[in-house]
Amino acid sequence: MAIREILTVPDPRLKLRSQPVETVDDELRALMDDMLETMYAAPGIGLAAIQIGVPKQVIVMDLAREGEEKQPRYFVNPEILWASEETQPYEEGCLSVPEFYDEVERPARVKLRYLNYHGETVEADAERLFAVCIQHEMDHLNGVLFIDHLSRLKREQAIKKVKKAKAA
């Protein structure tokens, strides 16, 4: 396992659409293991493969609170089957937009289908933080960052802040 570099805005690779994965094999599991290690080191609760420069439809996540046992989850080729009309605002942050947080409104509940670490098809219902996180990470697979849901002014402020921090 290895910690990979996380791309930050305005890196153009973050705007790429990720491609579906053909099969879940040892090479893909090694990528997911690296992603998980990278996410924990950052630290974060979710990471899409494109955030480390790999345009594949792969997400890792762990929503365990500090002090709880780790609960890693893996999502390959995730798709939302249903989303509630009810929405909820949630303050989001992103490893690709470090130190910037803002409120985003998303469906409160979703039903999704994906392949797990072993390539098995799973369907799951998500609500609260899980729903927010999976939608946030799935946006990455389509080249969308959480700041793309904000006003142009807030988006520009976020990018400027990240560029300034990088230059320092």
Active site residues: 137
Provide the token pair at 167. Answer: 């230059």
Nearest C-alpha neighbor of 96 from the set 153, 56, 135, 38: 38
On whether the CB atoms of residues 5 and 92 are closer than 8 A, the answer is no
